[in-house]
Structure 1
C-alpha cells in the first residue's frame, strides 16, 4: 500500500492533532515541524518545503497579496477559537495603557495581531501610538516578554499562564471583545489538494478523532497534563477543540471586518474566496 507523505508545520501541536495521532493512519506518513514565525510558514509553503501549515486564518488574506504563488486556501478550522490574551508588564492595567508601548508580535500586518490592533483602535490607539516589534511565534514572544524585551504581547495557552506565573499581568482577552474570533486553520496551496492525497487523508483522520473524542476526553486531558502544562492551560486547550472542521463563516467574516477597520489589504476578500471545501 502506498504511504502518502504529508509535511505539516505548526507553532505548537493542535489539540485535535494530538488526539488524531493515536490512530493508525493507514497510508499516511505525517512529518510535523515547529515554526518560529508565520513568515517562515509562508516561505516554506511557497517553495514546497511543507505541504500544509496550521496557522492563523487571517494570514491567508495577507499571503495572497504578497509576492508569491497567491493560491493559499483554508481547508479546515483546527480550533473552535484560539484563546488569546494581551499579557503585559504589571504596570499596564488596561488596553488604553498601551499607548507608547513596545508590543511584541509575530508579524505586524497579518495573523493574530490584527485582532489586537482592532482592540487598540477601539481604545483610541493606532499606529504610531504604539510600536510593533516582530520577534516570532508564541514561544518566542513569551520568552521575549518575560526577559523584558517588550511591554506586552498576545499569548495563548499554555504560555499566557506561564507568563503570569513569571509576574506578568493579563490585560484583556480577545474573546471578550470578539466572541466569534476563530481558531487556527489548516492552510495549503490549492493545487496541492489534487497532487497530494496526504492532505485529505489527514483531514479524514482529524474528523475521525473528533467523532471519537467524547470517549477519549480523559485520555486527552492526561496526555496534555503529562507535558507539564498548567491545569488552566489544559482546560483551555480542550475547550478549543472544534465541533466541526468546516471554517466558521462568522469567524472568517470577523477577520475580514478587522482588516476593513484597519484599512489593510485583503479586506475585499470573501469567505468563498479563501475557504475551499471541495
Structure 2
C-alpha cells in the first residue's frame, strides 16, 4: 500500500472527515504538524516529506529559493481559509496598527501578503509597522496571549479562542477579499510521477469526503467533533469545504495580484505555472 508523508499546520478538515468515514483505505497517511512555512519548505526541499498543506501564496516565494524550484499546487483542500485579524486591547481597527508589531509566520510569503495588502489599501505602508516571524497559527496564538505582539491573523478555532481571551476583532480577510482561497496541497513536479499512486488514492478519498460534507454534513460534523474541535470551529470547517479539489483560478489570481501590487517577487507568474491538477480524480 502506498505511503504519503505530509506536513500541515493543523489537520485538514477534509482529511479528518475522510479518515473518520474510512474513505482513504488505499493509502497510508503519515501526517505531522509543522511549526512554520519555512519548516514546510525545508522538509519538501530535502525530500523528508512528500507534500505539504499550506497557504497557496507560499508557492510563489518558495520557487524563488534555492531548492527544487518546481513546486506546484495539485489540490485545494478548503474553499477559503477563514482569517481574522485580532489585536491587543486598544487596537480595534486597521488604523490602530500604525507602529504595531504584527506577528506572522513568515515576512514575505503566506497569509502575511493578504494582511499587508489590507493595510496598504488603508494607506498603511510597510514602514508603518514591524513584522515579527513567530511561526504557524498555534505559535501566533500563544505569542499573542503572552503579549509578544500587537496583532496577528488567526483561523478557527484560534480566532474564537483569542476573542474569548479578551483580544479584539480588527478585520476579516474574507470580508475584504471574498475570493481569498483556502490552503492547497503542494508537491514537487519532479516527484509527481513517483507520488502519483499515493496522491491519487488519498485525493480520491478526500473527494469522497468533500461530497459527503455537502450531502451529509452531520456525518462530517460528528467526525470533526470527535477530533476535539469546538462546535463553532466545526461549523466553520464544514462551511469551508471546497466546491472542488481543483485550485480555484479566481482565488489563485487574487494572490498573484496581491503580490504584484505589493511589489513582492514571484508575482510574474500565471495560474498554469503554479497549478498541476493532473493527479485529481476525474469528475
Superposition RMSD in Å: 1.2
Task: Determine if the alignment matches structure 1 residue 16 to structure 2 residue 18.
Answer: no
Q: CA deviation at 1:277?
A: 1.5
What 5-or-longer segments of structure 2 have no aligned partner? 279-283
Instruction: Name the structure 2 match of 1:213.
Output: 213
C-alpha distance in structure 2 between counterparts of 1:27 and 1:183, whole Å: 25
C-alpha distance in structure 1 between counterparts of 2:136 and 2:221, whole Å: 24
Matches within 5 A, 1:219-230: 219-230=219-230
Figure out how many residues of one structure are paired with residues of the other and give that number. Answer: 276
Matches within 5 A, 1:181-192: 181-192=180-191
Instruction: Name the structure 1 match of 2:202.
Output: 202
Residues 164-188 of structure 1: CA deviation (Å, up to 9, x unaligned): 1110011000011100000000000
Instruction: Name the structure 2 match of 1:151.
Output: 150
Counterparts in 2 of 1:221 and 1:257: CA distance versus 1, 3 Å: same
C-alpha distance in structure 2 between counterparts of 1:4 and 1:225, whole Å: 29
Q: Point out 4+ residue stretches in structure 1 off by more than 4 angstroms.
A: none
- Is the contact made by 1:38 and 1:106 (CA closer than 8 Å) also made in structure 2? yes
Matches within 5 A, 1:77-226: 77-196=76-195, 197-226=197-226
Task: Determine if the alignment matches structure 1 residue 28 to structure 2 residue 27.
Answer: yes
Task: Determine if the alignment matches structure 1 residue 47 to structure 2 residue 46.
Answer: yes
C-alpha distance in structure 2 between counterparts of 1:40 and 1:239, whole Å: 29
What 5-or-longer segments of structure 1 have no aligned partner? none
Relative to the length of structure 1, the TM-score reads: 0.96
- Is the contact made by 1:56 and 1:183 (CA closer than 8 Å) also made in structure 2? yes
Instruction: Name the structure 1 match of 2:281.
Output: none
- Is the contact made by 1:87 and 1:160 (CA closer than 8 Å) also made in structure 2? yes
**Which has the higher mean CA deviation after the structures are superposed, 119-128 or 78-87?**
119-128
Residues 223-254 of structure 1: CA deviation (Å, up to 9, x unaligned): 32344433322211111110100111000000
Residues 182-218 of structure 1: CA deviation (Å, up to 9, x unaligned): 0000000012210122112111111121223344421
Counterparts in 2 of 1:36 and 1:158: CA distance versus 1, 3 Å: same
Instruction: Name the structure 1 match of 2:65.
Output: 66
Instruction: Name the structure 2 match of 1:265.
Output: 265
Instruction: Name the structure 2 match of 1:231.
Output: 231
C-alpha distance in structure 2 between counterparts of 1:256 and 1:85, whole Å: 21
SS at match of 1:171: strand
Relative to the length of structure 2, the TM-score reads: 0.94
